[in-house]
Structure 1
Amino acid sequence: MENKTNLEVALKAAVKAGEKILEIYNDPNSDFSVEKKADNSPLTIADKISHTTIQHFLSDTEFPVLSEEGRSIEYPERKDWQNFWIVDPLDGTKEFIKKNGEFTVNIALAKNGKPVLGVIYVPVSKTLYFGNIGLGAFICENVSGEITFDSVLRKSEKLPKPKTTEKYFVVGSRSHMSPETEEYIDALKQKHAEIDIISKGSSLKICMVAEGIADEYPRFGPTMEWDTAAGHAIANAAGKKLWLTDLSEELAYNKENLLNPYFIVK
Structure 2
Amino acid sequence: MSANNQMDVTVILNIAVEAGKDILSVYETDFSVENKQDDSPLTLADRKSHIKIVEGLEQHYPNIPILSEEGKHQSYSERKEWDYAWVVDPLDGTKEFVKRNGEFTVNIALIKDGTPILGVIYAPVLDVAYVGEQGQGAYKVENVLEKVNKQIPLEDIGIALPIKEERDYCSVVASRSHLSKETEEYIETLKEKHGKVELTSAGSSLKLCLVAEGKADVYPRFAPTMEWDTAAGQAVVECAGGKVVTTDTNEPLKYNKENLLNPWFIVAFKSFNY
Q: How high is the TM-score relative to the length of structure 1?
A: 0.91
CA-CA distance at 1:154 after TM superposition: 1.6
CA-CA distance at 1:211 after TM superposition: 0.5
Gaps of 5+ in 2: 269-274
CA-CA distance at 1:147 after TM superposition: 1.9
Q: Establish whether residue 46 from structure 1 lines up as the match of residue 48 from structure 2.
A: no
Any idea what the Cα deviations from partners look like across 1:84-124, whole Å, max 9, x if unmatched? 10000000011000000000000000000000000000000
Name the CA shift for 1:150/1:168 in 2 (closer, same or farther; >3 Å): same
The 5-angstrom pairing of residues 121-160 of structure 1 reads 121-144=122-145, 147=149, 150=152, 152-160=154-162
Please give the secondary structure, in 1, of the residue aligned with 2:95.
Answer: helix
CA-CA distance at 1:26 after TM superposition: 1.4
Please point out which of 248, 251, 273 is paired with 1:249.
251
Task: Find runs of 4+ consecutive structure 1 residues off by over 4 angstroms.
Answer: 173-176
Could you say which residue in structure 1 is the equivalent of 2:57? 58
Any idea what the Cα deviations from partners look like across 1:140-169, whole Å, max 9, x if unmatched? 111126525535442210111012212110
Q: Which amino acid aligns with 1:136?
A: G
Please give the secondary structure, in 2, of the residue aligned with 1:213.
Answer: coil
Deviates more, 1:140-149 or 1:210-219: 140-149
Name the CA shift for 1:82/1:172 in 2 (closer, same or farther; >3 Å): same
Q: Which amino acid aligns with 2:112?
A: K
Q: Distance in 1 between matches of 2:243 and 2:12?
A: 22
Deviates more, 1:175-184 or 1:237-246: 175-184
The 5-angstrom pairing of residues 94-173 of structure 1 reads 94-144=95-145, 147=149, 150=152, 152-173=154-175
CA-CA distance at 1:49 after TM superposition: 0.9
Q: Establish whether residue 72 from structure 1 lines up as the match of residue 107 from structure 2.
A: no
Q: Distance in 2 between matches of 1:83 and 1:149?
A: 26
Deviates more, 1:129-138 or 1:147-156: 147-156
CA RMSD, Structure 1 to Structure 2 (Å): 2.0
Q: Distance in 2 between matches of 1:199 and 1:254?
A: 28
Please give the secondary structure, in 2, of the residue aligned with 1:90.
Answer: strand
Gaps of 5+ in 1: none
CA-CA distance at 1:5 after TM superposition: 3.2
Larger strand percent: 2
Aligned residues: 259
Any idea what the Cα deviations from partners look like across 1:149-193, whole Å, max 9, x if unmatched? 535442210111012212110012579632211221111111112
Q: Which amino acid aligns with 1:227?
A: D
Q: Establish whether residue 90 from structure 1 lines up as the match of residue 91 from structure 2.
A: yes
Identity of aligned residues (%): 53
Q: Establish whether residue 14 from structure 1 lines up as the match of residue 39 from structure 2.
A: no
CA-CA distance at 1:12 after TM superposition: 1.1
